[in-house]
Amino acid sequence: GQNIDQPTEMTATEGAIVQINCTYQTSGFNGLFWYQQHAGEAPTFLSYNVLDGLEEKGRFSSFLSRSKGYSYLLLKELQMKDSASYLCAVREGRDDKIIFGKGTRLHILP
């Protein structure tokens, strides 16, 4: 079976840096997504990692280690609008099943 773990909640200060971790156990790993979701809205795409390493996209970066079953999302220069839930999801198997973790609620303090 599959298992995706991420912290339930995190708090950080405006202008700071925060790292949200995600660990997973799946069969037939094909890739890992990070999505941002504001309350009552659909998730919006942040990143997709297939190979090991760090991918940077503006203030957001995502890292993947397939051997460790580990990923993190790094958010720099935090803004109040970054207060949201961050969802880690894994694409697995020949049938491209996509499974989400329970999400991390990030609170930004002024």
Partner 1 sequence: DGGITQSPKYLFRKEGQNVTLSCEQNLNHDAMYWYRQDPGQGLRLIYYSQIVNDFQKGDIAEGYSVSREKKESFPLTVTSAQKNPTAFYLCASSQTATNEKLFFGSGTQLSVL
Q: Tally Cβ neighbours within 10 Å of residue 40.
A: 5
Strand partners, 36: 44, 86
- Residue 45 Cβ vs partner 1, minimum distance, rounded to whole Å: 5
CB of 65 to partner 1, least distance (A): 18
Is the CB of 76 or the CB of 105 nearer to partner 1?
105
Q: Of 59 and 102, which has the nearer Cβ to partner 1?
A: 102
> Long-range contacts: 39-42, Cβ < 8 Å, 24+?
39/84, 39/85
Instruction: Give the binding site for partner 1 (CB under 8 A).
Output: 31, 33, 35, 40-45, 48, 50, 87, 89, 95-103, 105
